[in-house]
Amino acid sequence: MALVHPSGFGSCNLERGQNQLQSRRAKIAKHPTATQPHAAQILPSGFPTFLESKLAWSTSESSSALEYIYYLSKEDKDEIDNALKSFKAHGLDGDLVDSMNFPLPNLRQTLEQLSLEVHNGRGFCLVRGLDYEKYSVEDNMVIFLGIQSFIAETRARQDEMGNMIVHIVTDDNVALSPLKEFHTRHSKSSIPFHTDELGDILAFQTRSTAARGGNCILSPGYTIYNELVATRPDTIWTLSEASWPLHIPYYHQRPLLFYKDSRIIFNFAPNALLGSKAHPRPTNVPSLSPRQLEALKLVEELAEKHKIAIPTQKGDLHFINNLALLHRRDSAEVGPGGKRHLVRMYLRNEALAWKIPEALNRSTGWEEAYRQGEDVERVWHIEAMPDVFFPLIRKPN
């Protein structure tokens, strides 16, 4: 399959970027924070003045989000059905599915190209066309695991209990639990842009959708970075300082912006910085400084400016580069008996994986979550379980 970008998509106009950089000093002078001593140095040591990358896209360069969806053909679906039959014939547990025992001889090439797009192209892909109602819950899960094996084969635990799957469910019963009502995982309200605390690649299986809203909204971290450099380079200093006080999963300080192996990485969730009704900020944790609050506001504004919204359908499989993109969802309306239900997994492609900054690894246990071995406990709840299996207060994502 040849993935065709719309005209200009992913290409950064270097001349325009240089012009922006030449005029930024005048813009900096308008902001009080630019008087900080280190702001005069323009950028922290090693940080690039411009990112020329396909990851630096903008919706202004794209006519429709639908251009980035891969629609499964009849031949693709037949191949998936045959792969499911082949896997089940082995008599293996469902969590053992991989690219070898779930054979997709023709679709494989397409999925591998989509993986390249997730890592080094636009940073996301969506596979659409699966008939979720056609399969049992178990078979749907095997298909999800089988397809993802060609995009990112290694799966991470999402908490200390070893849960491999997290269910993100919004339904009419959230008001019965105050914690659920305000928790980002179950709330009907829109949530601000963020990244998940860990996870190279976020994978979502859509089991059901909201009556209205609840769409997936993405924004390019590279584009946000380029615009901040051009207009507010002092903010790059602020975001990259190791003084941000996060209180989830425990109190610690680290940067929100990293530069590692020629790649920019954003990692933050507003709830861990500002607190919320579901995640109250302890009184003994320092508050954000005015400079930090302004930086968060600027990132949110730019994320909104460059966002792309993707209406979600039942059966959709989303794959999102959690290191390159920010994401959020809009508010959701659920009808009587209806609900929005996504299944989330954290994945890694060992051949294409980005290196994780040590400060980020230390604070999140990132690499430990991906550790393989017989001593690693993994729990697979393919159906949504009571809250005790997924402690809501542990993490904001």
How many angstroms from the chain centroid is the CA of residue 55? 14
- For the segment 238-292, what is each residue's pLDDT rounded down to a tens digit? 999 999 999 877 889 999 999 999 999 999 998 889 876 666 788 888 999 999 9
pLDDT band at residue 18 using 50, 70 and 90 as cut-offs: very low
Q: Which fold has domain 14-389?
A: Double-stranded beta-helix (3.60.130)
Does residue 368 come out as left (phi exceeding 0), alpha (psi in the -120 to 50 range) or beta?
alpha
- Evaluate whether 246 touches 172 at the Cβ level (below 8 Å): no
Residue 260, beta-bridge partner list:
263
The pLDDT tens digits of the residues spanning 196-253 come to 999 999 999 999 887 565 688 999 999 999 999 999 999 999 999 999 999 877 889 9
The pLDDT confidence band at residue 21, using thresholds 50, 70 and 90, is very low
Those residues with Cβ within 8 angstroms of residue 17's Cβ, 6 or more apart along the chain or in another chain: 50, 226, 230
Distances (CA, A) of 291 to 125, 146, 154, 256, 299: 35, 46, 39, 14, 13
Separation CA 180–CA 174 (nearest Å):
5
Angstrom distance (rounded) from CA 312 to CA 289? 37
Listed residue (92, 271, 108) closest to 195, CA to CA = 271
Is the predicted pLDDT of residue 16 greater than 50, yes or no? no
According to DSSP, residue 87 is labeled H
Q: What is the CA radius of gyration of the chain?
A: 21
Separation in Å, CA 220 to CA 36, 51, 71, 153: 28, 12, 23, 24
The predicted pLDDT at position 216 comes to: 85
Residue percentage of the chain with pLDDT more than 70: 76
Range list of H helices, 121-232 = 137-148, 178-182, 221-231
* Whole-angstrom distance, CA of residue 323 vs CA of residue 199: 8
The pLDDT confidence band at residue 35, using thresholds 50, 70 and 90, is very low
| Count of all residues that appear for the chain in the document | 397
The per-residue pLDDT of the chain, averaged, comes to 83
What pLDDT band is residue 5 in, cutting at 50, 70 and 90?
A: very low
Residue-wise pLDDT tens digits, 300-351? 999 999 999 888 899 999 999 999 999 997 755 666 656 778 999 999 999 9
List the chain domain ranges: 14-389
Query: What pLDDT is attached to residue 276?
Result: 67
pTM, full prediction: 0.83
Who wins on pLDDT, 328 or 66? 328
Q: Could you say which DSSP state residue 163 is in?
A: B
